[in-house]
Structure 1
Amino acid sequence: MAEVPYQNMENPSAAAKMAVHLDPESQVEIRGMSFSEQSIRRAFIRKVYLILTVQLAITMAFICLFVYHEPAKAFTLNNPWIAITAFITMFAVLIVMACCGELRRKTPHNFIFLALFTVAQGLMLGIVTIRYEANEVLTAVGITCLICFGLTIFSLQTKWDFTMMGGFLFVGLLVVFVFGFIVALFPGSAASSVYSACGALLFSLYLVYDTQIMMGGKHKYSISPEEYIFAALNLYLDIINIFLFILRR
């Protein structure tokens, strides 16, 4: 099979997660804000999950397109500029959203930038799935759904407060990011399996962390209700990264 653009690169979605957490302003807001009213929190959570559902639906549409539509596969393989454009767009939009707090809180600009990021990320994921069989992709999707559902329930029910683990998780993200480059330079089945397992575990913990940050309530830290785009983006990146690490197992 022809080589897929960026197939040997470090997971771009993992790098995207790192870019989001490098935003000092967002970290201050996450750790300094809490909900004062239950009604505001419930409305915020509904909005976040609605946005997340739309993001995942768009992403799944791109994945299905590249898994089942052979002309789309061939066209993409013969035109590497598509992957390059999507890659650049994804990171450019993400950097703008991470660095410009007012922009991601201002409607409709925040939705426009989130839509651009989601389309670019969905296109990148579709391109990644070209090198896998349809049953492998669908299996990874199914496993990801089960894991995310289970972790969401766990994060709502557990008495453990994961919101204080932000620093540890970011260090883990740096380690996984560097490990990914090492695996790319010195490939091997054992190292690749360890990398995939570590990545899936890390972003599973991130999903619990980001869910509790969004829920607020009894947890020590919570996110501002104005940051619904930021909250949805974090959950989306967690889910996408879990999927990618399971897919490359």
Structure 2
Amino acid sequence: MNLYSVYSPDRIRKAVLNSFGWMAGGLVITGAVSAVLYSSGTFLNMLYNVPMLSLILALAQIVLTISITAGIYRMKESTMKVLYVIYAATMGVSLTSLAYVYDLGTIALAFVVSAVYFLCLVAIGYTTKMDLTRIGTICIGGLIALVITQLLLILFHVPMMVRLMSIVGLLIFTGLTAWDIQRLPVMLEQAEGTMMEGKLSIFMALELYLDFINIFLYILRLLGSRSSNN
């Protein structure tokens, strides 16, 4: 059974566009923050003045993610929006370091490829009649295994196979993205007409935002490792 059969076309379109609008807004904020910090040289000053900046940002992003996820039942929608904007801004600070590791042309190419790739996944998740729940569950398990593997490799100073890890990560987020797209209208339908509807839009926007960022990072690593070997 098609998971979208319970919706009217207008309802599906409105639900998807609302979350995607917030997702796109988050990406704009992230890109703008990174561009300003890099072009002005502020990022290097921040690294110099705050040696543990990367750790602080990582912890802040974890706290923000948990807050948005756990607070969906008790937070105001406006509060969730503010936290989401803050999260996107902190991610912009974190991703500024990429400009010092990769060529700007490679970063731009990776973003374009990621955008096209993401849109293809949107089309798949939006139109497929196959229930992707099981695939999503498998991908979550794969993501946990990937994170643990990477941590162990770093802990024991084992050289990581960047391409292999990037391909595996990209495959995992391919499944997660298609699953998130498919379950978006289902979750919104369950909250239709309640205060939860707007909150779920922000929550799913964060999910889609993270899907895109991870796809971008894995594609960038693939393109970056390839260009460095040429």
TM-score, length of structure 2 as denominator length: 0.79
Alignment of 1:238 with 2:221, yes or no, is: no
Alignment of 1:181 with 2:151, yes or no, is: yes
State the match for 1:57 in structure 2.
28
- Give distance in 1, aligned partners of 2:99 and 2:130: 36
Q: Is the helix fraction higher in 1 or 2?
A: 2
What amino acid does structure 2 have at the position aligned with 1:96? Answer: S
Q: Percent identity?
A: 22
Give the Å deviation of 1:136: 1.9
- Give distance in 2, aligned partners of 1:95 and 1:58: 20
The within-5 A match list for 1:1-249 is 37-38=7-8, 39-66=10-37, 69=39, 71-79=41-49, 80-104=51-75, 106-185=76-155, 186-188=157-159, 191-216=161-186, 224-225=191-192, 226=197, 227-249=200-222
- Give distance in 2, aligned partners of 1:172 and 1:200: 11
TM-score, length of structure 1 as denominator length: 0.74
CA contact (8 A) 1:35 1:216 kept: no
Which deviates further from its counterpart, 122-131 or 139-148? 122-131
Give the Å deviation of 1:70: 5.8
* CA 1:127–1:44: 2 relative to 1, 3 Å: same
- Give distance in 1, aligned partners of 2:36 and 2:154: 27
Gaps of 5+ in 1: 1-33
CA contact (8 A) 1:62 1:122 kept: yes
What amino acid does structure 2 have at the position aligned with 1:87? Answer: A
CA RMSD of aligned residues (A): 2.7
| Alpha-carbon displacement from aligned partner over 1:21-44 (angstroms, at most 9, x marks no partner) | xxxxxxxxxxxxx99653444332
